[in-house]
């Protein structure tokens, strides 16, 4: 079974079309109202329990008020900004509109800095400049305002314009796309007058944006002239050996198959060759991917049958079936898949998971294991951590994961008929191993520390 979080971390550097809302088609109030009615139907028909936190009465009231407010033509982006807060209230990070891919494909202006957004003060903190950019902002500087918009307001808008199970996750996830909000929502036009506080002093700096294709060109030139192992930092999986501590650190950025099969065997061969005694698995900022990778990875550290999920509740729907048919022709489907196509839309199926048999594995690791997690450990990465924790294989260090141990996922795609806004909707409710009916929570760490101190804490325990 695959659980995916569509993180939308697409390439920022794609085409040379200039983004402008003025160039977008506009939609009439009646077209947008029809799309809202369609959205309601799609959600109710597809999601296993769309009103699990946001009541139907409140949702219908909010939809009605939004429909009444639509009195003039809007672009697709403007309609997105109006409708996205509805989805945000469902507290389901897998059910969401997807417009940023389109924005990224238009060669947008980018503010060439990373920021961390938070629902609490400091609301925005500078996390460094892009490669090849000479920084005008100190790392860790508190951003007070951008173009006279208070950082508190920017954070509030980012939180209401992102979906997820809690505000902390929405803020941190939205941090990845602050450039989008500055341009598409606040119309900065590539000029960012930033007031910031650093070492107790308040200063102001004017920063200019850069087109994404120019950033791409700079990075290509930089990469071509730099002879180093820096490219390793871009890989999904990495291994670091600390010989003195007899410790290996495996960093997993996402649970995607690219590079995994080559990496995993070679990593554990090296761990065995070096006679490593301690293994740290770093899942900090891992947004998830394919849970089948988690099943395979667990074969290297567990020595008994296991399962990541207790059960899943699947809703049969038009979009669930359309996704199945898009994946393979009917003449290639097995009996179970054909049975799904025959089931009535709207019905629920409960799937109970059996333990996965443990394989013979000469590379299985028998030493101490530590798993690192944080708020940005999500979806199948959180599933892996919960399985590891449930079977008491070692210690979990960090902060409560953003991914819940009882959560919605297995997204299906849909599109609104008029504005053509793309969205994904959860089709399945997953119960991780050890999750009860009331366990709407993340994976709980055995040792709670800030994520930036998690590796140091693990090494402290190993050395002591």
More confident residue, 452 or 232: 452
Report whether the peptide linkage leading into residue 333 is cis, meaning its omega lies within 30 degrees of zero: no
Task: Output the pLDDT for position 187.
Answer: 97
Looking at residues 343-355, what average pLDDT do you find?
97
Task: Output the pLDDT for position 218.
Answer: 83
Bridge partner list, 370 = 280, 395
Angle at 243 between CA 242 and CA 246, to 5 degrees: 85
pLDDT at 251 over 90: yes
Task: Output the pLDDT for position 225.
Answer: 58
Tens digit of each residue's pLDDT (9 = 90 or more) over 378-424: 889 999 999 999 999 999 999 999 889 999 989 999 999 999 999 99
Task: Output the pLDDT for position 219.
Answer: 77
Task: Output the pLDDT for position 14.
Answer: 29
Looking at residues 435-441, what average pLDDT do you find?
94
| CA–CA gap between residue 388 and residue 164 (Å, rounded) | 24
**Right CATH number for 232-463 from 3.40.50.720, 1.10.630.10, 3.40.50.1100, 3.90.226.10?**
3.90.226.10
The fourth-level CATH superfamily of domain 109-212 is: PDZ domain (2.30.42.10)
Residue 117 near residue 178, CB atoms below 8 Å = yes
Looking at residues 207-219, what average pLDDT do you find?
90
Task: Output the pLDDT for position 174.
Answer: 95
Task: Output the pLDDT for position 248.
Answer: 98
DSSP percent split of the chain into helix, strand, coil, nearest 5: 35, 25, 40
Residue 299 near residue 397, CB atoms below 8 Å = no
User: Looking at the chain, which residues constitute the CATH 2.30.42.10 domain(s)?
Assistant: 109-212
Task: Output the pLDDT for position 223.
Answer: 65
Task: Output the pLDDT for position 386.
Answer: 98
pTM score of the predicted model: 0.84
The four Cα atoms 458, 460, 462, 464 give a dihedral, to 10 degrees, of -150
Looking at residues 243-249, what average pLDDT do you find?
97
Task: Output the pLDDT for position 250.
Answer: 98
pLDDT at 277 over 90: yes
pLDDT at 455 over 90: yes
Nearest to 62 by CA among 31, 40, 41: 40
Name the least confident of 23-27, 209-213, 222-226, 384-388.
Answer: 222-226
Task: Output the pLDDT for position 375.
Answer: 87
pLDDT at 441 over 50: yes
Task: Output the pLDDT for position 23.
Answer: 66
pLDDT level of residue 207 (50, 70, 90 thresholds): very high
User: Looking at the chain, which residues constitute the CATH 3.90.226.10 domain(s)?
Assistant: 232-463
Task: Output the pLDDT for position 165.
Answer: 86
Q: Could you report how far apart the first and last alpha carbons of the chain are, in Å? A: 40
Tens digit of each residue's pLDDT (9 = 90 or more) over 214-229: 988 887 777 665 444 4
Looking at residues 309-337, what average pLDDT do you find?
94
Q: How many CB atoms lie within 10 A of CB 464?
A: 5
Task: Output the pLDDT for position 166.
Answer: 87
Looking at residues 322-329, what average pLDDT do you find?
92
pLDDT level of residue 131 (50, 70, 90 thresholds): confident
Looking at residues 94-119, what average pLDDT do you find?
94
Task: Output the pLDDT for position 22.
Answer: 55
* Neighbouring residues of 357: CB distance < 8 A, sequence distance ≥ 6: 305
User: Exposed, middle or buried: residue 204 (CB in 10 Å: 0-12, 13-18, 19+)?
Assistant: exposed
Supply the mean pLDDT for the chain. 91
């Amino acid at each position: 079974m695959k659980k995916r979080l569509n993180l939308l971390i697409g390439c920022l550097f794609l085409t040379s079309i200039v983004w402008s809302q003025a160039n977008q088609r506009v939609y009439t109030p009646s077209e947008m109202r029809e799309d809202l009615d369609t959205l309601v139907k799609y959600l109710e028909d597809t999601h296993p329990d769309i009103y699990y936190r946001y009541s139907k009465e409140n949702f219908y009231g909010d939809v009605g008020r939004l429909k009444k407010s639509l009195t003039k033509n809007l672009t697709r982006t403007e309609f997105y900004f109006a409708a996205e807060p509805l989805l945000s209230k469902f507290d389901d990070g897998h059910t969401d509109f997807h417009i940023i891919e389109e924005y990224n494909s238009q060669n947008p202006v980018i503010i060439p800095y990373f920021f961390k957004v938070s629902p609490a003060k400091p609301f925005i903190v500078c996390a460094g400049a892009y490669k090849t950019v000479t920084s005008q902002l100190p790392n860790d500087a508190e951003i007070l305002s951008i173009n006279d918009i208070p950082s508190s307001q920017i954070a509030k808008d980012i939180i209401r314009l992102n979906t997820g199970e809690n505000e902390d996750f929405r803020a941190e996830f939205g941090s990845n796309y602050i450039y989008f909000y500055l341009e598409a929502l606040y119309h900065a036009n590539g000029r960012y007058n930033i007031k910031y506080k650093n070492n107790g002093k308040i200063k102001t700096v004017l920063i200019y944006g850069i087109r994404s294709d120019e950033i791409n060109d700079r990075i290509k030139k930089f990469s071509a002239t730099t002879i180093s192992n820096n490219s390793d930092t871009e890989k999904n999986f990495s291994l670091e050996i600390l010989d003195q501590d007899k410790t290996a650190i495996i960093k997993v950025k996402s649970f995607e198959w690219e590079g995994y099969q080559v990496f995993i065997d070679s990593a554990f061969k090296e761990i065995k060759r070096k006679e490593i005694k301690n293994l740290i698995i770093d899942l900090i900022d891992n947004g998830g991917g394919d849970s089948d990778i988690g099943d395979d990875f667990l074969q290297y550290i567990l020595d008994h049958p296991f399962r990541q999920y207790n059960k899943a509740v699947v809703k049969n729907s038009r979009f669930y079936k359309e996704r199945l048919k898009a994946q393979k022709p009917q003449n290639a489907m097995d009996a179970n898949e054909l049975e799904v196509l025959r089931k009535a839309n709207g019905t629920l199926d409960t799937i109970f998971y059996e333990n996965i048999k443990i394989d013979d594995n000469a590379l299985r690791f028998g030493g101490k294991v530590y798993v690192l997690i944080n708020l940005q450990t999500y979806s199948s990465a959180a599933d892996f951590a919960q399985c590891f924790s449930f079977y008491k294989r070692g210690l979990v260090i960090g902060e409560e994961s953003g991914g819940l141990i009882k959560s919605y996922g297995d997204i299906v795609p849909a599109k609104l008929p008029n504005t053509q806004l793309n969205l994904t909707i959860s089709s399945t409710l997953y119960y991780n191993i050890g999750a009860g009916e009331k366990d709407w929570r993340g994976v709980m760490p055995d040792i709670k520390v800030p994520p930036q101190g998690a590796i140091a804490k693990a090494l402290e325990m190993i050395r002591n």
